[in-house]
Amino acid sequence: MPMLNSYSIHGQSLSTNAVITDSNTSYKLEHQANVEHKTNKAAIYKQGLLPHFMNLCLWVAALFTAVILLMLPAQAETASAVQTPTSSQPTNTVAITSDVASTPGHTLANQNEQSLTSPAALNNAATLAEVSTDSNALDPIQQFVAGDFSKRQTMLNHWPGSVESLDTLVELISNDRLYQGNNGQTYLLNAEDQLFTYPDKKETADWPSDLSQVTLTSTLRSALIFGQAKVKLASEDPTQRLKAVDILSDNIDQVDPTLISAAATNESNKKVLSALSALQARIDFKNGNTATKIEALNQLADSDSPQVLVDIESALTTENLNPALKSALTSAQSSVANRIKVSTWTGHLFIGMSTASILLLAALGLAITFGLLGVINMAHGELIMIGAYSTYVVQNLFQAYLPGMAGWYLVAAIPVAFLVSAIIGMIIERVVIRPLYGRELETLLATFGVSLILMQLVRMIFGAQNVEVSNVDWLSGAYQVSASLVLPYNRIAIIGFTVIVLALLIYLLNKTRFGLFVRAVTQNRQMARAVGIRSARIDMLAFGLGSGLAGLAGCALAQVGNVGPDLGQTYIIDAFLVVVVGGVGQVWGAVLASLGLGISGTVLEIGIGAVMAKIVLLVLVILFIQKRPQGLFALKGRFVD
């Protein structure tokens, strides 16, 4: 008789209908079915084991990250030491001022008895020989501290060291950090009242009984200013020569015109030569006759310097002006004012673009997670904060273990910030968000709770106060476009960094297999599952990618602002606005929305203030969403809802 063997494997029915006429045939069929059954059981076992293994790996990585974070504060304390500054901290905004220049009479003319106007009075051969002899044993700063008034004055006007050493002296004196001990020894005192020897910069507990701060009289301070200008003017670096011209411009009443003429004769750099010519024109305008002043005004009309505008406006207040001179003054005033206005608005646009870059970095990750998963991740701001603190930790590690490469910590901090934020993001997706898919309100509340937990953990590990993340040397300073427009290097770098990240993200989403899977799951999750895409794994990796992008935003923010536990709260609302206005899951929409919100917000702040600007932006966004709920770019695909 026919025999019916039925096997049920993983929800699927396997039926075998066979007519058994022979016992050997029956045995072969049963053996084949048993082999297939064991094979399917092994496959099921592997499918169930793999997620557990991935969970275990994520938890181990998270534990390792937490241990590192807990150990680093103690390690960073052992690395604290005073470093001799070589350059001042750069500004984080564009330097645009229209009321910078000093008023007539507010100079060092009455304080400087021996300046660049009388260099012959400072050429004491005997004192110079003494300085040269001392230089064999001490560096210039030590010589300056050990010297008396006459020797210090001679050194400042004929500095025996490098431009950098003189800049260091200026900064140490300006910050009240330079001290003199017994027998003229040199010491440095930091803000924590720790005393260090110089030049080896080793902390000492043996405080001299007569420790005194190195201060300057008005004469020495004037000599310091012009000595610094002279050394920079003789430098081979055009940037240093431009700084010298700036110093002389700030103290124009004391400048010897012959010095400017000699420097212009030997100058080959066009930018420095233009600055020297403008300085000479200002001197001619102040000291020349009527014809000379008119000729100088014709040249100064092409300037956008606020100092030039102040000089012209001051001259216009003079009574009984020559009609030709008054006409030239009025024309030059209008030209300079218009140029300053153009530079000012160019600077505002640059600030808006840098702000837009930061917003875009903060919103790119949110656009991916919100567009793919439909999750309102209120912890996204804290992932930005984690990226910033990761940068701080890497900085401390480099200072403690690689002091010679401390200036390159930012290169290592970028991948570290991405990985730490990505790992924490994947853990959040696995543990908190995955059980709540399809329940938007519960997800919002859960991620808000996660954000509070992360903020409190950071306060416990690093403290409630802001931490300091220093700018690297190669991002310090600024590019001076004109006299009234200065663009900080760190903000230029952020704009370039954002462009690179955006290009890599577009390539990842459009040219790789992973990007294809992400787009497929975003457009139609059910169909993606039907063709074999493991949507759960794509969800986790995409959430990790978005979290890593938030970490990169935190790394960039650490270079332009304060790093504290509340850092993410500042940008989370603006990031959501960018995503909503640009369109859910749309990268190019996020780009346009960030540019619009960043630049318009900066312009509105100038006119109506920061608070009112934020209110106006929110109202405009609400009106835009009512008109176009899908944002600038609508998501395309079947069943995108």
Are residues 31 and 135 located together in one domain of the fold?
A: no
Whether residue 363 lies inside any domain: the answer is yes
Residue 306 parent element (H or E)? helix 306-316
pLDDT value at residue 79? 40
Nearest CA among 249, 306, 236, 247 for reference residue 278: 249
**Predicted TM-score of the model (pTM):** 0.67
pLDDT value at residue 552? 92
Q: Which of the residues in the chain have pLDDT under 70? A: 1-137, 584-585, 634-641
Residue 375, classed as helix, strand or coil, is coil
Span 78-117, pLDDT tens digits: 344 334 343 333 333 333 333 333 333 333 333 343 344 4
Number of separate domains in the chain = 3
Task: Give the integer Cα–Cα distance in Å for 307 and 617.
Answer: 36
The two structure tokens encoding residue 10: 């993983």
Are residues 558 and 469 located together in one domain of the fold?
A: yes
pLDDT value at residue 340? 92
Are residues 477 and 582 located together in one domain of the fold?
A: yes
Instruction: State in Å, rounded, how far the first CA of the chain is from the last one.
Output: 56
Phi, psi (deg, nearest 5) at residue 351: -60, -45
Nearest CA among 630, 615, 538 for reference residue 582: 630
Whether residue 617 lies inside any domain: the answer is yes
Are residues 479 and 595 located together in one domain of the fold?
A: yes
Burial class from Cβ neighbours inside 10 Å (0-12, 13-18, 19+) for residue 626 reads: exposed
Contact 551, 454 (CB under 8 A): no
Span 540-553, pLDDT tens digits: 898 899 899 999 99
pLDDT value at residue 574? 85
Whether residue 52 lies inside any domain: the answer is no
Whether residue 273 lies inside any domain: the answer is no
CATH of the domain at 386: 1.10.3470
Nearest CA among 215, 214, 226 for reference residue 112: 226
Are residues 373 and 498 located together in one domain of the fold?
A: yes
Q: Which of 214, 234, 254 is the last residue of a domain?
A: 234
The two structure tokens encoding residue 57: 């790996």
Span 561-583, pLDDT tens digits: 788 888 888 888 888 888 888 87
Contact 515, 533 (CB under 8 A): no
Q: Which of 215, 234, 253 is the last residue of a domain?
A: 234
pLDDT value at residue 285? 84
Whether residue 636 lies inside any domain: the answer is no
Whether residue 531 lies inside any domain: the answer is yes
- When computed from its CA atoms, the radius of gyration of the chain, rounded to whole angstroms, is 34
Whether residue 393 lies inside any domain: the answer is yes
- Angle 258-263-264 from CA coordinates, rounded to 5°: 100
Are residues 473 and 576 located together in one domain of the fold?
A: yes
Residue 486, classed as helix, strand or coil, is strand
Are residues 457 and 574 located together in one domain of the fold?
A: yes
Tokens 């030491």 correspond to 81
Q: Which of 213, 234, 255 is the last residue of a domain?
A: 234
pLDDT value at residue 80? 40
Are residues 28 and 155 located together in one domain of the fold?
A: no
Are residues 163 and 26 located together in one domain of the fold?
A: no
Are residues 374 and 492 located together in one domain of the fold?
A: yes
Task: Give the integer Cα–Cα distance in Å for 594 and 224.
Answer: 47
Whether residue 409 lies inside any domain: the answer is yes
* Residue range(s) defining the domain that contains residue 19: 2-39
Residues 6+ apart with CB under 8 A from 625: 580, 581, 631
Are residues 385 and 533 located together in one domain of the fold?
A: yes
Are residues 27 and 175 located together in one domain of the fold?
A: no
